[in-house]
A and B are shown apart, each in its own frame.
Chain A
Amino acid sequence: MVDIAGRNLLEEKLRFIISSGGVALAIMLILILNGFFAGMNRQVSAYLDNTTADLVVSQKKVKNFLGTNSRVPLSAISKLESIKGVEKVVPLFSTYAVLAPEGRREFSLIIGFDPLKGGGPWRLTAGTSDINDDQVIVDKVIADRHGFKLGEKINILGKDFTITALSTGTSSWMTGTFFITFDAASRLLSAKDTAAFLLVTIKDKAKINDVKQEISGDLEDLTVTEKHERSANDVALYASVFNGPLRLMVIIAFLIGVMLVGATIYTATIERAREYGVLKAIGIKNHSLYLVVFEQALLASLAGFVSGVGLSYVAIFIINNLLPQFLILIEPVYVAEVFVVSLLISILASYIPVRTIAAIDPAIAFRRGA
């Protein structure tokens, strides 16, 4: 049966290419739009994911890292350092700001870190992270976009900083990260004697809960969370608020993509009604007819699916080269889900037109099929 189905499909290659192409377009649409969405969520937590700290201490009740106005007194550092099991405490500022290099607005995450203690960029392509209060480390994607060179000055919140290093992996679709010193950030944000967060590294990772509990007990005015909890909070918050329209776009793409798969296979089946009529007229049993039709639908759908996945990777490669700030993730689980749904839709879309042919008498099948 697969042989008949395959031969029939390949007998008219143009028609086969059209139906597979239609499915491929729909699959591309679904995978790429979802890929943007998945990549975006991954990028949200990039800073915390790459710090070596275990715990994040913030102002009471502040449970996010991004976009908050947490203020923690610097006096808390010595208290934290005195807690058994704490290895290192790093004060940090993080704030969003819109910079306007050369008139082009750049929504930016500004990290104020202590070069001696850490909290700075995790990967550099040029320069050093040992910067002074007049220097800045700029993400390479942002630097390339604006043509920034080492030694150039850029204005951050009214103050000029000299670019002394370039970081990589620190930009996202939404922001590029600018690293300045803790003291420079403190002055820019009018935040004397405070930090936004304290990043705590502990000696024995197995005792993380004990240390966390002790910090919560000793510093009641502050909130302590594990790093991954705060990352998850950031992703959840952005997913629930910021991503609303993006999620809707992904849903629309999925629904329309699936319907396009259905419409393509339905049309392809209708186009072969004459061939199915001939099969019926020469006495093929209904279950065999259905088998041939389903096999053809599945073959066309499968070819379209494989092409769609392949074309998605090609498109992603091109987009990544043109727009490196976007991370587009093709998630295997999602691909599997789309695969199952598209096959089911293909079977349904081919069943609807062929049941009419299956219901007619073989003697008049020629007439109907023609």
Chain B
Amino acid sequence: MGIALAWRNLSENRTRFIISVGGIALAILLVLSLDGIVAGSIRQVSVYIDETPFDLVVSQKGVKNLHMTTSFFDADLVDKVRRIDGVKKVTTILYTTDYLVSGDNRSVAYIIGYEQGKTGGPWMMDKGTEKLRSGEIIIDRDIAAKDKLLLGDRVTIFGRDFKIAGFTKGTVTIVNSIAYIRFDDFERLRGLRSVVSYAFVDTKTGNSPDAVMGKIKKDITQVSVQTKKEFADSERKVVSDMSADIMKIMNLIGFLIGMAALGLTVYTATLAKVREYGILKAVGSRNTWLFRVVFEQAAISTLAGTAIAFTLVLLLKAGLALSSSNILIVVGWDSFLRIAAISMMIGVMASAIPIIKILRLDPADVFRR
């Protein structure tokens, strides 16, 4: 009975219902989309670590991630790592962040100097070869498409021209892409000798990565060593701390204003129907029943707004994917349910405020009021 009345009362004036649901949907869309952008940005950033197979990573002492940092340590230490009990294989890369330049187009890229055919190189080729000759480079196909580059074209890194020999896919994040060159090219152009940036360690079957990590830490104190998960977490944390700090606070402000707007919309919608509630009170409806009707109306409107907002955010996500944007929107169920629950709570609370006055009235006074 309550739900039926609540729905009839809402649908009686469709324009008003649409407007209030629309207002709620806008507020929730704001919150969901901002939250999704922040979550997506953080998710993307550890793609290189996630996709490269290794158990442990060794870096310059104190360096715990890749993003916009510098790591160089003595290559002799890599041999020491190889001799640690439980270590199966060690491969090394040279790494820095630089600009990939083609004409007037510039984009930030992780530059990886890798040893051909070993861990640390591209994990998914789209075109061309991963066996590079000196002076050749592999870049992401999305960057190539954006800058209208073909295989054989030239791009500049480290102030030197490189010929594009291959395209990878899936390496573009919100902050950069990944480009690969030969290890020896990297060494030569950066004037490096007998140093590496990171060493990827595979452990022997039956040896726990944590135990091997303990041995490396004990025997080689001049470097830092982490598990793959720690390295990836650290990478996401860095982006979260640096760029996501601003995103998080923008998200928080969006959330607070969005929820306030939602509350105001439900409050206004309830206030507009105060006469109807007064009539119900006048014909003898009990307060609990009236409360139920009002809450159900608020819940229906909020639920409808949430559903519309969720659909719209999925459309936005699909639209971004179709437009080859490197912005990823991630709306996890936990985030969606959290936002939906808070919205529902605020909606119901906002609907209670205007109705309390009516409930305090004597039924005989209602018509006058």
* Cβ–Cβ < 8 Å partners of B117 in chain A: none
* Cβ–Cβ < 8 Å partners of B237 in chain A: 105
* Cβ–Cβ < 8 Å partners of A191 in chain B: 191
Interface assignment of A180: CB less than 8 Å from any CB of chain B: no
Q: Given A244-B325, A245-B327, do A266 and B243 touch, yes or no (CB 8 Å)?
A: no
Q: How far is the CA of A96 from the CA of B95 in the complex (A)?
A: 13
**B→A interface (CB under 8 Å):** 15-16, 19-20, 22-23, 26-27, 29-30, 33-34, 37-38, 40-41, 60-65, 67-70, 72, 96-99, 101, 106-108, 156, 158-159, 174-176, 190-192, 195, 234, 237-238, 241-243, 245-247, 249-251, 253-254, 257-258, 260-261, 264-265, 267-269, 271-272, 325-327
A96–B69 CB distance below 8 A: yes
* Cβ–Cβ < 8 Å partners of B267 in chain A: 18
The interface-forming segment of A65-73, A76-84, A111-119, A292-300 is: A65-73
Q: How far is the CA of A246 from the CA of B175 in the complex (A)?
A: 11
Return the contact of B37 from the options A158, A249, A263, A326 (Cβ within 8 A).
A249
Return the contact of A245 from the options B67, B70, B174, B253 (Cβ within 8 A).
B174
A96–B68 CB distance below 8 A: yes
A67–B97 CB distance below 8 A: yes
Return the contact of B64 from the options A100, A249, A253, A326 (Cβ within 8 A).
A100
Return the contact of B62 from the options A60, A158, A242 (Cβ within 8 A).
A158
Closest to A247 in B: B327
Interface assignment of A173: CB less than 8 Å from any CB of chain B: yes
A216 CB to nearest chain B CB (Å): 15
Q: How many residues of A are counted as interface, with CB atoms below 8 angstroms from the partner's CB atoms?
A: 72
* Cβ–Cβ < 8 Å partners of A263 in chain B: 19, 22-23, 26, 265
* Cβ–Cβ < 8 Å partners of B107 in chain A: 237, 240-241
B27 CB to nearest chain A CB (Å): 7
Q: Given A98-B65, A98-B67, do A68 and B106 touch, yes or no (CB 8 Å)?
A: no
A98–B175 CB distance below 8 A: no
Return the contact of A267 from the options B19, B40, B99, B176 (Cβ within 8 A).
B19
* Cβ–Cβ < 8 Å partners of B272 in chain A: 267, 270-271
Q: How far is the CA of A22 from the CA of B38 in the complex (A)?
A: 26
The interface-forming segment of A32-40, A47-55, A131-139, A359-367 is: A32-40
Query: Using a CB-CB cutoff of 8 Å, which residues 17-50 of chain A contact chain B?
Result: 18, 21-22, 25-26, 28-29, 32-33, 36, 40
Q: How far is the CA of A86 from the CA of B96 in the complex (A)?
A: 33
* Cβ–Cβ < 8 Å partners of B260 in chain A: 25
